[in-house]
Chains A and B, each alone.
Chain A
Amino acid sequence: MNWRSAPRSPWIARLVLIGALFGAWEIAARWFVDKMFLSPPSRVFVSLGEVLRTPGVLDALKQTFWELGAAFALSVALGLALGLAVGLRPFPRRSLMPIVLLLYGLPQITILPLFILYFGIGPASKIAFGVSHGVFPVIVTTVAGVQNLKPILVLSARAMGANRMQMLRWVVFPHMIPSFFSGLRLAMSGVLLGVLLAELYVSQSGIGHFTTLFTQSLEPTKLLGLIALLAAMAIFLNEVVRRAETRFDRFKTV
């Protein structure tokens, strides 16, 4: 094949490709697929306003956003505290880390019904389920971050008479920043998964209610619009933590 005819910049090629995908979707939905199941992207885009005006949708989206924020904040705070408690000294690290890894590896989705049972169908269960997905990556990366601490740094700080607080503030924290931020990114994808799973599971209220409603009433335009809005929210949040990660990557000096 003649690659010289392809656009030089990968950005243009990417945009062309995405455009082609949307074009194929548009053509398929307009002329080939049953209107009960798929609608063309143009119509989805135009009807976004209508989706948002559907009573309750905007509230459900807002609530999901706050649940994501709360679950993320809780995961980070809890994960950081547990990670430091487990990781700072060798004995708890050796004995407790296998337990953390074991819990991290469990398929938490099997206990989602229990979360709903214990915390109800409101925001609490979604936040709790989000935290159950988000907290483990933070613990694991925090432990990894403090584990790689060079003994020479600890030794010299101590020799210069640093106390516990000073040690944390000036030696441990700066050192673990890069791995901590990759933990944040993993926590965000975990929290997104957990909260959205719980939201979709509870069909009486929130997002799950509307996805069920639009599926059962065969309104693919609204369903696609709602999913597109949620995906945009997820992409936005992912991008925020990814930016933070690349920004703080330059701390990788010591």
Chain B
Amino acid sequence: MSRVVQAGFVLAVLALWYLATEYWGVSGLLLPKPAAVLRELTDVIRTGEFVADLRITLGELAAAFVLSATGGTALGYLVSRSQYWTRTLEPLISAAYAIPIILFLPLYVLFFGLGPASKIALGATISFFPVALSTVAGFGGVERMYTVAARSMGCSGYQLFRWVLLPAALPVILTGLRMGFTVALLSILGAETLSSVSGLGHRIVSLGENMAMARMFAYIVFAVAIAASLNAIVSWLEARGRRA
């Protein structure tokens, strides 16, 4: 029964969209016809026009995520090793996390230019915080009993890390990595929308500025589908990593 309601909701939205554009006279400049959007979407995919923009966006995302994942886990691990530094730095990191870092985009553009570099830097900065915070929480939350027991059985520093700390902290770190990945994707799309010369976000804006509404909607659908599938993949990887 719930499925019926959900399907009904989707159908109602599509029906409203169809009726509004075909019969109620909503201008195509505000809302293009569904059929036109579908036509443009197949055209975008068939001609492979999306490849260049998608490659840039995904490249920025990969670079930003690699930077924040390595930096965030490394710093998080170092901080978590000492209670003193955890107590000192953790509030600072969470306070910085609460600031909307998108504010610094104009500065990043000033430093790194309009190209991919500013997007990578912004994405890496924004996703650094959830990764670092969850790494601190993950390693900090390991039961003292485990480390003491492992130590008293005479394990080396590496063995302690490999067989005790890492398995205990991994689930929390993976959640942080997933959150970091999601916000990196969102902030990169956002930065491309705000000030850029390339990428999916920029393509959507420039189509909008040229009033090519049907194609713009097609790209929005495309970008949403890409974001949704990336998020699904990352959630699946997270679930897999937790079990391992």
Tell me whether A and B are bound partners.
yes
Q: Does B236 contact A (CB under 8 A)?
A: no
A91-109 contacts to B, CB under 8 A, are 91, 94-96, 98-99, 105-107, 109
- Cβ–Cβ contact B99 & A200, under 8 A: no
Main secondary structure of the interface of B (DSSP, over half): helix
Chain B interface residue count, CB cutoff 8 Å, equals: 46
The answer to whether A109 and B2 have CB atoms under 8 Å apart is no
In contact, B100 and A110 (Cβ under 8 angstroms): no
Cβ contact within 8 Å between B205 and A113: yes
The proximity string for A residues 211-251 relative to B, scoring 1 for CB distances below 8 Å and 0 otherwise, is 11011001010011001001100110010001000000000
Shortest C-beta distance, A135 to chain B (Å), equals 17
Give every chain A residue within 8 A of B2 (Cβ-Cβ). Answer: 91, 94-95, 98
User: A196–B103 contact, CB under 8 A?
Assistant: yes
Residues B186 and A107 in contact, CB atoms below 8 Å apart:
yes
Nearest B-chain residue to A92, judged by Cβ: B5
What number of A-B contacts does a CB cutoff of 8 Å give? 123
Is the interface on chain A under 10, 10 to 19, 20 to 34, or 35 or more residues?
A: 35 or more
A227 contacts B106, C-beta separation under 8 Å? yes
Docked-complex contact A214 and B106, CB < 8 angstroms: yes
Q: Which residues of A contact B201 (CB under 8 A)?
A: 109-110
Do A107 and B224 form a contact, CB below 8 Å, given A14-B92, A112-B193, A113-B208? yes
Q: Are the CB atoms of A113 and B204 closer together than 8 Å?
A: yes
> Which positions 188-229 of chain B face chain A at CB distance < 8 Å?
189-190, 193-194, 200-201, 204-205, 208, 216, 220, 223-224, 227-228
Q: Contacts A17-B88, A110-B201 hold; do A193 and B100 have CB atoms under 8 A apart? A: yes
B105 within 8 A of A: yes
Contact A110 to B220, CB < 8 A, known contacts A17-B92, A235-B99? yes
CB-defined contacts of A173 to chain B, threshold 8 Å: none
Query: Quick check: is A141 within 8 A (CB to CB) of the other chain?
Result: no
Whole-angstrom distance between the alpha carbons of A166 and B182 in the complex?
42
| A200 adjacent to B30 (CB under 8 Å) | no
The prevalent SS among residues of A at the interface is helix
Q: Which of B82, B102, B105, B106 is most buried by chain A, counting CB atoms within 10 A of its CB?
A: B106
Hey, what's the 0/1 contact readout for B85-98 against A, CB within 8 Å counting as 1? Answer: 00111011001001
Q: Least Cβ distance of B73 to chain A in Å?
A: 21
A7 closest partner in B (C-beta): B88
B88 to A: closest C-beta gap in Å: 4
A99 cross-chain contacts in B, Cβ below 8 A: 6, 9
Closest A residue to B219 by CB, please name it. A110
- The yes or no answer to A37 lying at the interface (CB within 8 A) is yes
How far, in angstroms, from A202 to B106 measured CA to CA in the complex?
Answer: 13
Cβ contact of B5, chosen from A96, A235, A242, cutoff 8 A: A96
How far apart sit A54 and B243, CA to CA, in the bound complex (Å)?
A: 57
Compute how far the CA of A114 lies from the CA of B95 in the bound complex, rounded to whole angstroms.
33
Please determine whether B190 and A109 come into contact, CB atoms closer than 8 angstroms. yes
Cβ of B111 within 8 Å of any chain A Cβ, yes or no, is yes
Q: How far is the CA of A116 from the CA of B89 in the complex (A)?
A: 40
Q: Per-position contact with A for B162-188: 1 when CB-CB < 8 Å, else 0?
A: 000000000000000000000001100
- Is A192 located at the chain interface by the 8 A CB criterion? yes
In addition to A107-B227, A109-B201, 10 A-B residue pairs with Cβ atoms within 8 Å of each other are: A10-B84, A96-B6, A113-B193, A114-B220, A117-B30, A197-B193, A200-B103, A227-B103, A227-B104, A231-B99
A residues whose Cβ falls under 8 Å from a Cβ of B: 3, 6, 10, 13-14, 17-18, 37-38, 91, 94-96, 98-99, 105-107, 109-114, 117-118, 189, 192-193, 196-197, 200-201, 211-212, 214-215, 218, 220, 223-224, 227, 230-231, 234-235, 238, 242
